[in-house]
Amino acid sequence: MTQLPFLRLSLPRQIPLCSPARSFFHTTAALQAVQASKKNQLTMATVNTKTGKVVDRTVLDSMLRRRLFYTPSFDIYGGVSGLYDYGPPGTALLNNIVDLWRKHFVLEEDMLEVDCTMLTPHEVLKTSGHVDKFADWMCKDPKTGEIFRADHLVEEVLEARLKGDKEARGQKVVVDEEKEAKKKKKAKDAKAVKLDDALVKEYEEILAQIDNFDGTQLEEIIAKHDIRNPTTDGNLLPPVAFNLMFQTSIGPSSNMPGYLRPETAQGQFLNFQKLLEFNQQSMPFASASIGKSFRNEISPRAGLLRVREFLMAEIEHYVDPEGGKKHHRFEEVKDIEMAFLNRNVQLSGCTKTEKMTIGKAVETGMVDNETLGYFIARIQLFLLKLGVDPNKLRFRQHMANEMAHYAADCWDAELLTSYGWIECVGCADRSAYDLTVHKNKTGAPLVVREPRAEPLKIEEWQVDLDKKKFGPRFKKDGKAVAAAVEALSQELREKLAIDLEKNGKIEVDVEGVGSGKVELDQDIVKIEKRTRVENVREYTPNVIEPSFGIGRILYSMIEHVYWAREEDEARGVLSFPPAIAPTKVLIVPLSTHASFRPLLQQLMTKLRRMGISNRVDDSSASIGKRYARNDELGTPFGITVDFQSVKDNTFTLRDRDTTKQVRASEDEILQAIKSLVDGEKTWEDIRKELPEFTGQEVD
């Protein structure tokens, strides 16, 4: 269950700023505080930090679809909810994010990247716990056949009743448009019915804890509060667990059930032994994997944030559990400041983040260890490189009851969007859990063996059996008796040594042999305290797991870099950093005159040779319209080819964000673009170096 955090998130995880965390308040006052602050939070989420202006998600969404960043899969067949295709700009963006991820993590740290299959046999996911526990609760309407995700249903019905209550009391109702839009169209509108104060309180408390109920509890709530199909008012069957893995069958016979992996981690764990060998037995090291994973959501919503097929990038960093999990490059990151929302703050009912360096966070013990801290800092650096707004990034620590029992600590990188705080990266210390379960199941030595610098001397009670006499005496029971003796604890051995000395014989429990007790004389058994020397240390490494939901990062980041031109609200701009922009350069000829063609070809070829993606737009649209289109595509630079260019091979270079232009020779322009794309220079640098141009931007 590596990605437990990804299991249910986005909407339920909207912890409002500085008010009780949803899962933990028990007073109506606290809840009301949350509801009031929620509106503020959502407002903040949709304000572009740089422009200070509100951005409209509906407008953004329609722009993203129009520009084919993404589109519902199988649209001409009516689509399938939770499945999206990325179009050309979306795919390029995705590829560039993956590329940066690979450079930032894999190449930078010599990680061992692997590519494992998505098809996974039943047994592996049984061992990992996914077969039994990777599930949501669903309710079926036996009459209509409709299926509801139980927690979502309870939430929808109770919220509607609370809304009706407010109306009846004449209070103002704050409408969450997103939720309204997602409601089944036929659903009956909430009636304005006043509820008992006690009932209101009970509903609010249920909603506050909606993420924490199991099937039995959901069943009780549904029965007690008479929750039915909101459309037909029909009764529902009790909730049943619905496993979120897509099941299939491998091979022609039906005797090998399998699943599509719900995460990339398992493939990495299973190869641990071979990877350690590849790494020449040297610890610590990390494996990494980038690939699609699958979750059969009951009712996907929230666009790209909750989909059934998605790209993940996961790192499994293997570390010696002894010695405090130090990291040799922690020094490099220790002064990085970040926004933390720790467990205790959440428990106290507040969601205000605290700024602190990661060095301090580890030193004070808030973050469990250096290795975990190192990756948390590296995750922040990565997200900022992508263009994430630092004011909309926080690291939230998992509550004790939110983490798996074996986890030592877990932090999520959350990005603030119009859907609330979205968990985009999880970073967990998973202890030795994963390697241990697979080792126990298969017997494979998923362990590290290393020579001890100093041999370890262990004083212990050892038992010797006289094999010559032992065999003939016990015959077919010999093996069972020997195994029982071997399994005796040190405490028991000490006690038995005294018995043996005193009585000349001992009695040992051996299940299934005779009466279950076996007598051993001193001529057949000897127990002595001796010193054993251990030259090799064997241990199961702990795993620190940074796990990235690439699609979520992509979408949240787009919200952060989106803004509209002051002069025209309809002119959207996506200010991607040049390194990840889908296309780096737009080449715009001012005329379709034949004399322009060789220049266009020459620019394209040279840019391509430099590895810089570019497009020519020689359509008949006005130059302003062509640039506006590319602002929406997030193309950071534009080269305008005009009649002057034909004469003297000079060009103008336009910056997307400022719309300012400079003019220079071809060589200078190409060099400027290269240094901008490589991140060596900023537009401000270029403006100082090359003469400004204020000519042709018409329209």
For the chain, give the longest Cα–Cα distance. Answer: 113
CB of 333 to a copy of itself, least distance (A): 16
Residue in 9, 15, 138, 432 binding a copy of itself, rule: CB under 8 A:
138
Is residue 622 close enough to count as binding a copy of itself by CB under 8 A? no
Residue in 112, 305, 525, 599 binding a copy of itself, rule: CB under 8 A:
112
Which residues, numbered 86-105, are part of the site for a copy of itself (CB under 8 A)? 86-88, 90-92, 94-95, 102-103
Alpha carbons 276 and 318: distance in angstroms, whole number:
10
Is residue 280 close enough to count as binding a copy of itself by CB under 8 A? yes
Which residues, numbered 139-168, are part of the site for a copy of itself (CB under 8 A)? 145, 147
Residue in 1, 298, 302, 358 binding a copy of itself, rule: CB under 8 A:
298
Residue in 121, 234, 504, 514 binding a copy of itself, rule: CB under 8 A:
121
**Site track for a copy of itself across 350-379, x = CB under 8 A:** ------------------------------
Which residues, numbered 48-67, are part of the site for a copy of itself (CB under 8 A)? 67
Q: Helix 478-486 to helix 467-474 angle, to the nearest 10 degrees?
A: 130
- Name which of 331 and 523 has its Cβ closer to a copy of itself: 331
Alpha carbons 119 and 261: distance in angstroms, whole number:
6
Residue in 115, 189, 491, 566 binding a copy of itself, rule: CB under 8 A:
115
Residue 533 three-state SS:
strand
- Name which of 85 and 657 has its Cβ closer to a copy of itself: 85
**Which stretch, 70-78, 158-166, 458-466, 590-598, contacts a copy of itself (CB under 8 A)?**
70-78
**Which stretch, 29-37, 78-86, 164-172, 650-658, contacts a copy of itself (CB under 8 A)?**
78-86
Alpha carbons 467 and 461: distance in angstroms, whole number:
19
Phi and psi for 52 in degrees, rounded to 5? 75, 10
Residue 235 three-state SS:
coil
Which residues, numbered 212-271, are part of the site for a copy of itself (CB under 8 A)? 242, 246-253, 255-256, 258, 260, 267, 270-271
CB of 446 to a copy of itself, least distance (A): 8
Rounded to the nearest 10°, the torsion over CA 502, 506, 507, 508 is: 130
Give the residue among 695, 687, 680, 646 at the shortest CA–CA distance from 666: 646
Which residues, numbered 420-479, are part of the site for a copy of itself (CB under 8 A)? 438, 441-442, 444, 446
Alpha carbons 602 and 645: distance in angstroms, whole number:
12
- Name which of 86 and 213 has its Cβ closer to a copy of itself: 86
- Name which of 21 and 64 has its Cβ closer to a copy of itself: 64
Q: Helix 150-169 to helix 197-208 angle, to the nearest 10 degrees?
A: 150
Is residue 107 close enough to count as binding a copy of itself by CB under 8 A? yes
CB of 337 to a copy of itself, least distance (A): 24
Residue in 27, 209, 273, 659 binding a copy of itself, rule: CB under 8 A:
273
Instruction: Extract long-range pairs of 163-168: CB within 8 Å, 24+ residues apart.
Output: 163/190, 164/190, 164/191, 164/192, 164/193, 164/195, 165/193, 165/194, 165/195, 165/200, 167/192, 168/192, 168/193, 168/194
Is residue 480 close enough to count as binding a copy of itself by CB under 8 A? no
Residue with tokens 């640039």: 627
Q: Helix 550-561 to helix 88-101 angle, to the nearest 10 degrees?
A: 110
Is residue 292 close enough to count as binding a copy of itself by CB under 8 A? yes
The residues, ordered by sequence, that sit 6+ positions from 89 with a Cβ below 8 Å of its Cβ are: 67, 68, 69, 582, 583, 633, 634
Tally the residues of the chain. Answer: 699
Alpha carbons 539 and 535: distance in angstroms, whole number:
13
Q: Which helix (H) or strand (E) holds 232?
A: none
Structure tokens at 594: 């034949």
CB of 102 to a copy of itself, least distance (A): 8
Give the residue among 114, 104, 452 at the shortest CA–CA distance from 261: 114
Residue in 613, 650, 671, 696 binding a copy of itself, rule: CB under 8 A:
613
**Which stretch, 28-36, 85-93, 211-219, 664-672, contacts a copy of itself (CB under 8 A)?**
85-93
CB of 289 to a copy of itself, least distance (A): 8
Residue in 45, 97, 116, 427 binding a copy of itself, rule: CB under 8 A:
116
CB of 252 to a copy of itself, least distance (A): 5
Total residues binding a copy of itself (CB under 8 A): 81
In 642-684, beta strands by DSSP E? 650-655, 661-665
- Name which of 7 and 524 has its Cβ closer to a copy of itself: 7
